[in-house]
Each structure stands twice: as structure tokens, then as C-alpha cells.
Structure 1
Amino acid sequence: MTRVRAFGPGLEEGLVNKSNKPTGTGPGAGTGGLGLAIEGPSEAKMSCQDNKDGSCSVDYIPFTPGEYDVNISFGGLSIPGQRSAQLGSPFRVPVRQVVDPSKVRCSGPGLGGGVRAHVPQTFTVDSSKAGMAPLEVQIYGPAGETVSQGHNADGTFDIYYTAPEPGQYIITIRFGGEQIPNSPFHVEVSRNCRLAGVWFGLGWVES
């Protein structure tokens, strides 16, 4: 029994909706059945293939991030890990969401060409297809400005800012520490022109 071991990246970390592969080996371990079970925040799709060389290739696909217990037994007994840091079955495996900043999209008037100084602006960052990761928005321009954001339940963020002065502004957006497509954005902010009317007796004159 002590000759049976489990190893592989799937016992150290897993990814949501991806194939994760720990491997159980047992050359010369004698006869016995290999038992597999995974417990965690969601069910996991599992498969096992006999390699005909005394080892088995195990594959599992979890559907929700979180901590999972991977139980591997041989002959009804839990097996140890190959590395000294692994105490053995059940193996506690952190499963995280796949993060892909290239799938983040942005839209809204705050990124367009009609931005004016002293007028509140907004745009939307859609990360619903990019996984779960921190969003960082920074704006650089002629003067300091305040950026605020709201995280919506559908995986989008509403970004709000007000440019205090006209000029060239640069908006950088990072998701999971990486720039998203088209970032940095260059926004030209114009003056907030107001029409003032003066009555001269003959009519209104705009200035």
C-alpha cells in the first residue's frame, strides 16, 4: 500500500471549467480497486483511464471556484502524496476562476470624443466573460480627478469621473493586473461652454 502515490498539478491547484490532472500510480502495489471522490462547492466531472503500466490518469473538471477535497484511495485505504508537503488523501486543492483580461470590453460616453470639463462622465467595463479579478482604473490628466466605480451583479462595472480642466487625459484599465484591450484610452476633454444671453433692446446676443 505504501508504494501507491498520487501526484500532478491537479493536486496543487485547479481551474474552473478546465481539465485538471492528478495521477495515481501504484506499480507493484498488488491488487485492489482505485477509488475517487471530489467534494467541494460544486460537483466535478471526473474520469479515470488505466494506463496499463501500473498507473492511472485521473481528470476532473470543477464548475465553481473554492476549496475542494480530492479523495483517492487504493484497496479502500487513502493514499499519500508523492511530495513531502502533501500529507495525502484527501488532498485540499484550491480551485480558481480562469482570468482572461483580453475578454474585457469597455463602452460609454466617458471614453468618447464629447467629454467636457466639469461635467460628470461615465463608462462601463464588462468583465462578465473574463473571470473574477480586481479591476483598476486610473486617469492621468492636467489636474487631479476622482474616480469611483460600482460593481454590478452581472459582471460589469460602472465607472464615474469628472475632468476638472480641459486637456488630454489618459485612462488606463487593468484587470487582474494586466491591461485590457485598447488600454490606455486617450480622451480629449474640451471646455464646458455655456451660452449667455444679453438683451440690447433689439434682441438677444449670444456670447
Structure 2
Amino acid sequence: MDSNTMSASVITPSGLRDYCSLKQLDNCQLAVVFVPKQSGNHLVNIKQCKHHIMGSPFSMYVCDHEIGDSSKVRITGNGIKSAKTCMWNKFLIDTKNAGYGSLVISFDGPSKVLMVQKDNNDCTVSITYRTAKPGLYVINVKFAENQVPGTPYTINPK
């Protein structure tokens, strides 16, 4: 299948069109990627050259526990409490009980922050970061488009 001629869309249980994308997999298959925001039956439309492929639209049921809930995200580690300038600092984000959702981490402060995210393949993500200058930095964490309770964190690397 030629992914350049294909498109996908998702219709939510309330009848709204939701954002989705197509992702080319290693085995010459395509995946439809979207983050459900409500439970119920979703219709997934996949088209090639503006025509439905065989079987499209596909019906997919999303359960309540699969909806992303930022209040169930847990963040641990010394890197959210304190940090050292020009050294690697670390914290862990656990989304095991939070359903499906995108994770967005950002840093604001007096210098650019070098950040490395490592997906641990167990619904946790290790965040390692390094600041170039001392000063106050703010770490923002969002899950499923909502701020994780307890964030933002303020750190003051020396």
C-alpha cells in the first residue's frame, strides 16, 4: 500500500471528526494512530485515492479505562525536586493507570535544556535532562492534553 495516496479519519461516538494519522510500520503495514477522548463506538475511515478500502469504515469500541486521565499519572525522582547545572538529572513518568494519551514535557528557564526521553516499554518514560546555566526552571508535564496534577515543578539548579 502506498501511504502517500492514503488518508484516515475517526468519527467519535458523539459524531465529531477526530484527528488521526497514518504510521508506516516496518512490516509494510500501516497503523492508524489517534488518542480517544471519549468512550464508545468509534468509526475509523481509511481511504486510498479518496475511496474507502475494503472493510472501511471499521468499528472500534473504546472503554472508559482507556481514556487518558492526567490525574492518574505519577512522576517520581530527584530531578523534579532539585538539579545540578551541566550535569544529567533524571525523573520517571508512570502512565500505567492513566489510559491512552500523548505525553508532552517542556522546560522553561534562563537557558536551553537538553532533554532525552526513553520509553521503557512498560508505560513509563525516563526523562534525563541537563541545564546549561543556573537559575529558575519550570518543568511542565501534560498527558492527554491536560496538565498533570502537581505540575509544573520549579527547580533551581546551581
TM-score (norm 1): 0.47
Q: 1:164 to 1:12 in 2, by over 3 A?
A: closer
Say yes or no: does 1:129 pair with 2:97. Answer: yes
Give yes or no for contact 1:12–1:93 (8 Å, CA) kept in 2. no
What is the aligned partner in structure 2 of residue 155 from structure 1?
123
Match of 2:61 among 89, 95, 106: 95
Q: In the TM superposition, what whole-angstrom CA distance separates every residue of 1:68-112 from its partner, at most 9, and x where no partner exists?
A: 9xxxxxxxxxxxxxxxxxxxxxx8423332111100010111111
1:188 matched to 2:156:
yes
1:104-140 deviation digits (Å, cap 9, x = unpaired): 0101111113x11001011000110001211110001
SS at match of 1:189: coil
Q: Which letter maps to 2:61?
A: V
The answer as to 2:114 corresponding to 1:146 is: yes
Deviation at 1:12, TM superposition (A): 5.6
Return the offset for 1:67: 7.4
Q: Paired residues, what number?
A: 108
Say yes or no: does 1:118 pair with 2:71: no
Query: Unaligned regions of 5+ residues in structure 1, if any?
Result: 1-10, 15-60, 69-90, 191-207
Aligned with residue 164 of structure 1, among 99, 120, 132: 132
- How far residue 182 of structure 1 moved from its aligned partner, in angstroms, is 0.7
Q: Is the 8 A contact 1:138 1:147 kept in 2?
A: no
Q: Does the CA contact (< 8 Å) of 2:109 and 2:137 recur in 1?
A: yes
Please identify the structure whose Cα radius of gyration is greater: 1
Identity %: 26
Which of structures 1 and 2 has the larger relative contact order (alpha carbons within 8 angstroms, sep 6+)?
A: 2
- Counterpart of 1:104, as a letter, is V
User: For residues 172 and 12 of structure 1, what CA distance do their matches in structure 2 show?
Assistant: 29
Aligned partners of 1:104 and 1:126 also within 8 Å: yes
Q: Which runs of 4+ in 1 moved over 6 A?
A: none
Query: 1:13 Cα shift?
Result: 3.6
Task: Give the root-mean-square deviation of aligned CA atoms.
Answer: 2.6
Give the drift of 1:177.
Answer: 1.2
Q: Secondary structure at the match of 2:87?
A: coil
